[in-house]
Chain A
């Protein structure tokens, strides 16, 4: 089991540029979550998918953020255009849908927007 795989590990970009973060969930998991972590706001749930369908995107901060899950093994989080306040660590996590299944996290993408 390779775990949840995120890429890239680090991303440095200039304000206004498009940023795409990638996630490969654990095989067999049917729920996928995108979280953002900052010192000020802690862990924020951005969006989650069940069976590749977006269920709740109420945590997405602005229309500049979008997420897709074209199949069970791949998801992207896109920011266009990026701004300095988007700088954070973005985590992807996967699990089996249900009350008692724990989340499995990737190691995150550290995004810096200058």
Chain B
């Protein structure tokens, strides 16, 4: 079965500094990877995805993610953090269910704090 791991419960970064939120994956076959963000009292919002092609994927709000097959990683990055980026971030992988259909498996989430 597919799975993702987010090794950090929390990441702290100063505003203006680059940020990285880590994710590693375990899949059989081709990986279909996603990042989502959750703000307080809201549902998750899609940020970006890797399906195939370029290893550097660009997404919403200036975020990007780097797919690394040899390290089985899909880290989320942003060159310059904003206070408004403070939120809960989830890495996810698409899996084909045993009984058919497609389901999304989420990591435990990483809370990002950006300090002014």
Contacts and interface: CB of A to CB of B under 8 A. Distances in A.
Interface of A: 4, 31, 33, 42-43, 45, 48, 50, 55-56, 91, 93, 97-100, 102-108
Given A43-B90, A43-B109, A100-B32, A48 B46 contact: no
Given A99-B32, A102-B49, A56 B101 contact: yes
A106 B109 contact: no
Interface of B: 32, 34, 36, 41-46, 49, 51, 90, 94, 97-106, 108-109
Contacts of A42: 106, 108-109
Contact of B101 (A48, A93, A100, A106): A48
A105 B43 contact: yes
9 contacts: A45-B104, A48-B103, A50-B101, A55-B99, A56-B101, A97-B101, A97-B102, A99-B51, A107-B41
Nearest to B104: A103
A31 B94 CA distance: 13
A99 to B, nearest CB: 5
A108 B39 CA distance: 12
A93 B42 CA distance: 12
